[in-house]
Chain A
Amino acid sequence: MTSAPIRETVTGWYLYGVVPAGGGEAPAARGVDPEHQLVTIDCGGIAGVASQVSLDEFDKSTLPERLGDAEWLERKIRAHEQVLEAVHARTAVVPCRFCTVYRDEDDLKAFLAAHATALAEALDLVAGRVELGVKAFTASEPASAAEQAESGRAYLEARRSEQRRREELTASSSRLAAELHVRLLSAAEDGVVLDLQSREAAGRNEEMLFNGAYLVSDRGHFEQTLGSVAREQGELQLELTGPWPPYNFVPEELGRG
C-alpha cells in the first residue's frame, strides 16, 4: 500500500466491475477520470476493476449538480461502458452500477471481501456469455389515408378503418411479443422482459412492442433464431443490440456473503 501523495484534490476509488482474480493487468481503456489509470484489486478469488477519481467530481455533495449536466453525464457513462466492454472482451465480468465509489482502497477491499461468495457465484453464471438486446417495433405505417382524403366523408371512413386497424394491431402485438420472447429464450441461457421505451425516448416513429435482454452463449444460434422470427413475422421490425456486458443478469443487491 502506498501512502497518499500530496494532491490538490481528494480522490476516491470508482469500481466498474468485478472479475475473477488472476486475470492479469487492467485494460488500457480510459476511465471516468482520465487522470487515473485502471487497476485490478485482488481480493481472494475475485478482483475489482477500479480507478481513482477526483472527489471534486464524484462526491455525494457535488454529484446531483453534475448529473444535471448532460454533456458530463454522457462522457462519464460512455467511459464506464468502455471500461466494461474492454474488460468483458477478455474475461467474465459482473458490472457495477454507474457511480459506485469508495473513499479509499481499504473500503473497496472490505466490500469485495464481504460479498466475495455472492460475487463469485454471479461470475460463474455469466462466464462465457454475453447480453444481447432485442427490441420489436410495428413495421412502418403507410401514409395516412385520412390525411389524403378529398371529401369529409372519405376522411371519416378512412379514420374509422385506421382506428380498427390500430385496435387489431394492439390485440395481436401482445401475442406476438409473448411468442417472440419464448422463441428467443429457447436460444438463450436466460432472458428478461424490459420496460418499453416511448416513441419519443426511443426516437422512433413506430410503436415499440417488445424490449428484452438475453444472456447468450451461442451468438450464432441466437441470431439465426432471431432471423427466422423476422422472416415469419414480417409485421415486426426487430432490432438487435450488443453484445453488452451482462448488466441485466447480475443480482441487483447482494446478500451478505
Chain B
Amino acid sequence: MSRSLQHEVTLLELVDRVLNKGVVLSGDITLSVADVDLVYVGLRVLLSSVATLEEQAQLAAGGVPAR
C-alpha cells in the first residue's frame, strides 16, 4: 500500500470516529446530520481519486488490479 493511500485510510478511520461517535452535548453550534453527509461526499471524492491513482500505479507496474 502506498504511503499516501495509508494516510487517507487513517483519515477515514478518524473521520468515522470524530464525526459519528463521541458524546453529543447540546453545543450552541454542532454539526447537523446534513453537515456530516456533506463531509462524507467531499471525502469520497478525495478517497476515490487516491484509489484511482493507486490502480493506475499498479497497471503501470505491470500488475492487474484485483478488483
Residues in A lying within 8 Å of B, measured CB to CB: 12, 15, 17-18, 58-60, 63-64, 67-70, 73-74, 77-78, 80-81, 94-103, 107, 111-112, 115, 119, 122, 133, 140-141, 143-144, 147, 194, 197, 199-206, 241, 244, 247-248, 250-254
Contact = CB atoms under 8 A, between A and B. Distances in A.
A201 B21 contact: no
A203 B8 contact: yes
A57 B3 CA distance: 30
Contact of A98 (B1, B11, B18, B48): B18
Interface in B18-61: 18-19, 21-31, 35, 38-39, 42-48, 50-51, 54
A1 B24 CA distance: 26
A107 B29 CA distance: 11
A97 B67 contact: no
Contacts of B43: 70, 73
B24 A100 contact: yes
Nearest to A207: B67
Contacts of B45: 70
Nearest to B37: A67
Contacts, number: 146
Nearest to B47: A201
A202 B9 contact: yes
Q: Is the interface of A mostly helix, strand, loop or mixed?
A: mixed
B9 to A, nearest CB: 5
Given A101-B30, A241-B13, A95 B48 contact: no
Given A122-B23, A247-B21, A203 B54 contact: yes
A205 B23 contact: no
B5 A203 contact: yes
A73 B42 contact: yes
B30 A100 contact: yes
Nearest to B65: A205
B11 A102 contact: no
Nearest to A119: B23
B54 A63 contact: no
Contact of A203 (B21, B50, B64): B50
Given A64-B35, A100-B30, 4 more contacts: A97-B19, A194-B16, A203-B51, A205-B66
